[in-house]
Structure 1
Amino acid sequence: MPAPVPGARLHWPDDFGTRFTIFVDTEEEFDWGAPLSSDADGTRHMAALPAVHARFAAAGVPLAYLVDYPIATSPLAIDVLREVMQDGRSAIGTQLHPWVNPPHREEVNGFNSFTGNLPIGLQRAKLTALTDAVERAFGRRPLVYRAGRYGIGPETPALLAELGYRIDSSMRSAYDYSAEGGPDFLAVPNHAFRLGELIELPFTTVFTGRLRRGGAGLHRSLGRFPHGIGIASRLGMLSRVSLTPEDMPLDEAREAIRVAVGEGLRLLNFAFHSPSVEPGHTPYVRTEADLAAFLRWWDEVLALLDRLGVRAASVDQIVAATCGPA
């Protein structure tokens, strides 16, 4: 993915301040170490979601649930999401996992798991099926989208605009999935920018350490040496930190937040996967102890954001600040 064109950077209104979002990749349960399967569509973890959601609601923090097709068609998941949406601020968006999203016309494999690699007609059909399923389930057209596995393609922005979307969050700043057939986001910044008719809100990645100015280029170079990335991180030279509790240590996340705010980033975009709310579904939360650490991570991060004066932003607030009335 190329860097944004000159002039595309979004300039937030003065009264917007510095904000943060939390996007939840709300998806089926599957074995992360096994080949992808169109039959892996369990949603039982959603029964554990209300208790976790309540912790955010008590802190006044809305969540944006980016639901994929198995979630949008699961009676359990629909009931749970309708319940948590009663906080009045959280939102439902979409996330497309093509291997479990009809119509099923492609071979299920790694390359085709990046939606942007599919023929445009099949992309449109899958995205339409997902969008319509979400509207049927929740009574409102979704405004925000994320491609599963960050698999955005050249046609994605126009397809989303056709269906009434306002925001895309499919880009993961400073990550490169090209070795798997996916996009390369090394040139994508953290700041929001205009992408055709949409607003792009990249999933935030912050470089910390004494050599952080070297950024994605230096991080890639270190990866060419055995254990280079790990050694640089342990020595406090360079760490790449995504704003998520999943595989990102709390101390590193807190430092990344301080760096991002200090450098003037106006919107920090956090994320996690919904199956992490129950042990046993993701590599990040295998045990009850892992779940306790996951929840503590959020408690500490939200407390830091509050001390720094960084306020939560809902999807509706972002749309109003960037696109006008929905």
Structure 2
Amino acid sequence: MTNGAGQRPFRPRPPRPVDLIRWPDGFGTRFAVFCDVEEEFDWSAPFSRAAQSTSAMAAFPAAYLRFASLGIPLTCMVDYPVATDPAAVDVLRRALADGRSAVGAQLHPWVTPPFDEPLSPANSYGGNLAPSLEAAKIDALTSALTKAFGQEPLAFRAGRYGLGPSTIGLLRERGYRLDTSVRARYDYGAVGGPDFRVIGNAAYRWDGLIELPFSTVFTGRLRQMGPWLHRAATQLPHGPGALARLGLANRVSLTPEDMPIKEVLHAIEVAVAGGERLLTFSFHSPSLVPGHTPFVRDAADLRRFWAWWDAVANRLDQLHVRAATLDEILQAAA
């Protein structure tokens, strides 16, 4: 049923040049923000089917208004516990009324029926499941979202970036148009997940879908060699940190969760100067309330979270990088 943490991880091939999406000139340089809208759970504890509280959604309306004041629409990647909670759905419906934000699907296998697999770290990556079980869970999630919001979701994200060899085909068969399960230049193979080290930030076509990776930017004097250097440095104790401190190569993900603002602002500048046309940012909805994620533990962390977004929005505006809605991305890619 699973590929197990001890077996060879799924390694999707990098896109061919012909697969890369050429954004129209009129699209400009844009950015998109994806929010993993999900239940709260203890990130350090074993996976539990009982951890399905969505109390943090009470903070979503105020957070949504704050993003709206920055001119940032949210693409909300909603998982099963949220999609089946009427109060949480009502919160999201109000946000969707702006005509710019959107809802997509996010699969957390351990809290999405049918529950035919044993709980394990490897099985928390949906792509490790037998194709029939992965399909059944995608169907349950898609049905819940369609019932909640009156339309089928078009965008998908595998929770924990748990893409597998069957995932894209299953999504295509179900009418999805965009996947954002790839985290560029990251490797989860050691814990049973996929290995994305050979995949960069560029959007591309994959078996009929648009693949939009979560952006990772290398900065530093040797940033052109960043993916290779980072991979080699992981073989040494504290190797990646040493590369960053020496100013040689620093891997920066575009998220407020454990990514310092100074490094992210520089990464944005490097990416835009390097010609990247679409930057993707991401965060988890439970981070909106202190104590639910390792990234926002108290009120001071929450203040830093919002200061991070204020600084990022300001820098993007200075660089003339505009926000993009999910509809605009789908239309431009077509």
Q: Classify the TM-score, shorter chain.
A: over 0.9
Task: Determine if contact 1:169/1:201 at 8 Å carries over to the other structure.
Answer: yes
Distance apart, 1:27 and its partner CA = 0.7
Distance apart, 1:77 and its partner CA = 0.9
Number of the residue aligned with 1:4: 15
Number of the residue aligned with 2:130: 119
Output one character per residue of 1:160-214: Cα deviation in whole Å (capped at 9) or x when no partner: 1111111000000000011111110011110000011100000000001111111
- Equivalent of 1:183 in 194, 198, 202: 194
- Equivalent of 2:293 in 279, 282, 303: 282
Number of the residue aligned with 2:160: 149
Output one character per residue of 1:277-306: Cα deviation in whole Å (capped at 9) or x when no partner: 000000000001100000000000001001
Number of the residue aligned with 2:236: 225
Give the whole-Å Cα distance in 1 for the aligned partners of 2:199 and 2:239. 23
- Equivalent of 2:317 in 297, 300, 306: 306
TM-score, with structure 2 as normaliser: 0.95
Q: Which residue identity is paired with 1:277?
A: L
Number of the residue aligned with 2:61: 50
- Equivalent of 1:19 in 14, 20, 30: 30
Give the whole-Å Cα distance in 2 for the aligned partners of 1:58 and 1:140. 27
Task: Determine if contact 2:181/2:213 at 8 Å carries over to the other structure.
Answer: yes
Give the whole-Å Cα distance in 2 for the aligned partners of 1:78 and 1:20. 26
- How does 1:27-38 map onto structure 2 within 5 Å? 27-38=38-49
Output one character per residue of 1:67-88: Cα deviation in whole Å (capped at 9) or x when no partner: 0000100122101101111222
Give the whole-Å Cα distance in 1 for the aligned partners of 2:274 and 2:133. 41
Task: Determine if contact 1:96/1:148 at 8 Å carries over to the other structure.
Answer: yes
Q: Which residue identity is paired with 1:33?
A: S
- How does 1:45-194 map onto structure 2 within 5 Å? 45-194=56-205
- How does 1:196-235 map onto structure 2 within 5 Å? 196-235=207-246
Task: Determine if contact 2:226/2:250 at 8 Å carries over to the other structure.
Answer: no
Paired positions, count: 323
Number of the residue aligned with 1:195: 206
Number of the residue aligned with 1:250: 261
Distance apart, 1:60 and its partner CA = 2.0
Distance apart, 1:224 and its partner CA = 1.4
Q: Unmatched 5+ residue regions in structure 2?
A: 1-11
Distance apart, 1:58 and its partner CA = 1.4
3-state secondary structure, aligned to 2:283: strand
Distance apart, 1:261 and its partner CA = 0.4
Distance apart, 1:6 and its partner CA = 3.7
3-state secondary structure, aligned to 1:29: coil
TM-score, with structure 1 as normaliser: 0.98
The worse-fitting range, judged by mean Cα deviation, of 250-259 and 150-159 is 150-159
Q: Which residue identity is paired with 1:266?
A: R
3-state secondary structure, aligned to 1:87: coil
3-state secondary structure, aligned to 1:298: helix
Task: Determine if contact 1:32/1:282 at 8 Å carries over to the other structure.
Answer: yes
Q: Which residue identity is paired with 2:92?
A: L
Give the whole-Å Cα distance in 1 for the aligned partners of 2:103 and 2:239. 40
The worse-fitting range, judged by mean Cα deviation, of 144-153 and 223-232 is 223-232
Matching of residue 259 in structure 1 with residue 270 in structure 2: yes
Q: CA RMSD in A?
A: 0.8
Give the whole-Å Cα distance in 2 for the aligned partners of 1:34 and 1:90. 32
Output one character per residue of 1:42-89: Cα deviation in whole Å (capped at 9) or x when no partner: 100000011111111112211000000001001221011011112220
Q: State the percentage of identical aligned residues.
A: 57
Give the whole-Å Cα distance in 2 for the aligned partners of 1:215 and 1:142. 35
Output one character per residue of 1:13-49: Cα deviation in whole Å (capped at 9) or x when no partner: 1100000000001111000001111111110000001
Show structure 1 runs of 4+ deviating over 6 A: none
Q: Unmatched 5+ residue regions in structure 1?
A: none
Give the whole-Å Cα distance in 1 for the aligned partners of 2:293 and 2:200. 28
Q: Which residue identity is paired with 1:301?
A: V
Q: Which residue identity is paired with 1:166?
A: R
3-state secondary structure, aligned to 1:107: coil
Distance apart, 1:9 and its partner CA = 0.6
3-state secondary structure, aligned to 1:280: coil
